[in-house]
Chain A
């Protein structure tokens, strides 16, 4: 056949979003919006819950600041100051579960709140009293005086998690890690390894496990199914935390391990968004790590996400999911080197500091 110059390629009719040059290379960094369509919209009446890693705390804050119904079922005593409540872990996420780094941790949280699984107490000593092994971050500045008090608080907490799962309309979950620590006794997942900010590490009691993509997909699917048994309307927005690992127990170089972890999570999110109804993937990872901004959104430690980056993520989120215009916090108001997560409660960062201190 003689080629007559007509282009009949399927790429010909692609939208600009699907082409690199117009949608990445040809735009200023701030205008890049790496998402085309979503499964649902979020309005101001929707109860939006959040959970996840440190980065997810930014989502919590921004939703609240921009007039959305950031749904919190565990706010802490109204008679304590906001500062005290935040220090105690209230309001950081929709319930006082602290950082939920892995999908397995999330699944067990759902199971425990629904009374579908019981694990050993996981009570450890901490610098300020007893620490809850399932939520070590909430005891960062104030522990429990007695085991009984801890267990009572945990029961109350799980009741509030259950209420959250029953009532929320939208659940924004940021997946942070694949590496996790598990109790040998009963498989209970701990968000961080005992030994650096609470308790003592005992290799006979705690084992390391690096989740595979199949694990993430399977276990998150189970969690969604459990929740939708009593809250069928719940919709999910998944994202992958762009904050690199602070340390790895995988035996591989930290960059290697980080790429693996984020890749697994990214792939799993794609599978979940494709296979499950009303589960979307939101590309905050791409926005922060994309080559188009030459890592401009990372702080000097090449790990912390700056406020500008958070603003970009939230701006795209708002434009995509809502009718509201996002009130940018960073431009003209803050130093561009301001680190967005300077006020965040991050167990991983505590590990980093502890490790640095031990080696100095």
Chain B
């Protein structure tokens, strides 16, 4: 029986929708995030920032003698990011853990963690010793000649020494499977020497604090760049002419909550444009169950899922080859690509426009898309693809040119069209095998005669079974996209296989497929707006 008074009082209650957790973990600079929710019209979800404060968490102690700071591990266990055994929860393969996590909305892929550390080291090791006696020489910035001037190189050396254990810690967590860790910059210093003194008990003038902060953030940015750790740098957002804007001042140490809005913006930019979590193919059976719930197609076995039947048959347009000659060029009338080339004994042809269109329809079919997105844990787009006409021999690598410079965070997909007849393509006997691989993944397909991609820094196609089979396949890379941006396939010919998929252009194209549009340029520094 409904309580009418209660009903009327809470009338209009609405569900804000599913939230996605982002974890802010580390020193006290993680605290202002705590309990905040962030949303944006472009996001389909609300971000919920969960804070885990670790008092006294120093960058220099984050990893010592190969051991991650125990308090950090405890924090990750407490947030169920790690199991009590110390393994990433999202990689757990027992059904109970998976089902509970799924029901609880816990991450199925590596959770996003924004880590805060370094400021305690910075203040105690640098600013305390600089005090009011020293200033540092930084080109382009004023120097207080009434103070003893020390070389900025000394500050840089200490920064590297102190941040190295933190970087090591993140790398180790990444190797465990937590590969969505973002590192936040040191906060901009307060303009008020008095407020700084009130918090710290000594005075270091603002100009000195500013110069040293810039040095430490520069070193941290560089270390992150070298180690591919996404770095959240909000300096340009919270300063005017290099000085902290008054609205972000809080207590002389921490920044006011509006500053952290910028942190989230920067995080999202990196999340969508520069990172992607790795997959865990060992959870296939669990995810197959998930896919069963979300797809209309019956999937009765792991193999079924592995051989994800996107289409019962492949139109011949997908192949782009009309002769039995494996080295032929795409001769689809009306469309000429860049031609073919032989690389490592592999000849390939580029997909024709109809082939791409078919691929697009196949991959982004509503049901397939939902299943794949559930599998990935994010919205995706295809950023590159090419069609191969011949399987690589065992141990043969993909063209190293194609792998060079590509970030490991990309998902590499292979759409394999297997031709068991060893004759010109017989569409009726084709099967499709959709596999996913990144350098961290292990995926084994047990279907005889098919290919599998094994774990490697350079994905290798190996032939299983006897004999050599001619297969046609399209391989492509997945990347995340915002939900409201249209799914797309960005492509290039093999002749122009991009070294960096974020910045590629097809310069030798002879025709531009209408439906894709013009040359796509994928810029990681901003989120493409609709």
Contact = CB atoms under 8 A, between A and B. Distances in A.
Interface string A54-76: 00000000000000000001111
B129 A73 contact: no
A160 B158 contact: no
B158 A73 contact: no
Contacts of B125: 79
B284 interface: no
A79 B154 contact: yes
Nearest to B129: A78
B149 interface: yes
Among the interface residues A75, A78, A80, which one has the most CB atoms of the partner chain B within 10 A?
Answer: A78
Contacts of B126: 79
Contacts of A185: none
Contacts of A74: 148
Contacts of A156: 148-149
A77 B146 contact: no
Interface in B135-163: 145-146, 148-151, 154-155, 157-158
A150 interface: no
Contact of A160 (B148, B151, B155): B148
A159 B151 contact: no
B145 A77 contact: no
Contacts of B129: 78-79
A242 B134 CA distance: 36
A163 B151 contact: no
Nearest to A162: B145
B133 A163 contact: no
A159 B148 CA distance: 9
Contacts of B154: 77, 79-80
A160 B143 CA distance: 13
Contacts of A159: 145, 149
Interface in A111-170: 156, 159-160, 163
Contact of B148 (A75, A79, A80): A75
Contacts of A80: 154
Contact of A75 (B133, B155, B158): B133
B226 to A, nearest CB: 23
A159 B158 CA distance: 26
A74 B134 CA distance: 10
Interface string B112-145: 0000000000000110011001100000000001
B133 A77 contact: no
Interface string B450-479: 000000000000000000000000000000
Interface in B153-188: 154-155, 157-158
Contacts of B145: 159
A80 B158 CA distance: 10
A82 B149 CA distance: 17
Contacts of A75: 133, 148
A78 B134 contact: yes
Interface string B243-285: 0000000000000000000000000000000000000000000
Contact of A78 (B130, B146, B149): B130
Which 7 pairs of residues, A with B, have the shortest CB-CB distance?
Answer: A78-B129, A77-B150, A77-B154, A79-B154, A156-B149, A159-B145, A79-B158
Interface of B: 125-126, 129-130, 133-134, 145-146, 148-151, 154-155, 157-158
Given A78-B129, A156-B148, A163-B146, 19 more contacts: A74-B148, A75-B133, A75-B148, A76-B150, A77-B134, A77-B150, A77-B151, A77-B154, A78-B130, A78-B133, A78-B150, A79-B125, A79-B126, A79-B150, A79-B154, A79-B155, A79-B158, A159-B149, A160-B148
5 contacts: A73-B148, A74-B148, A76-B150, A77-B154, A159-B145
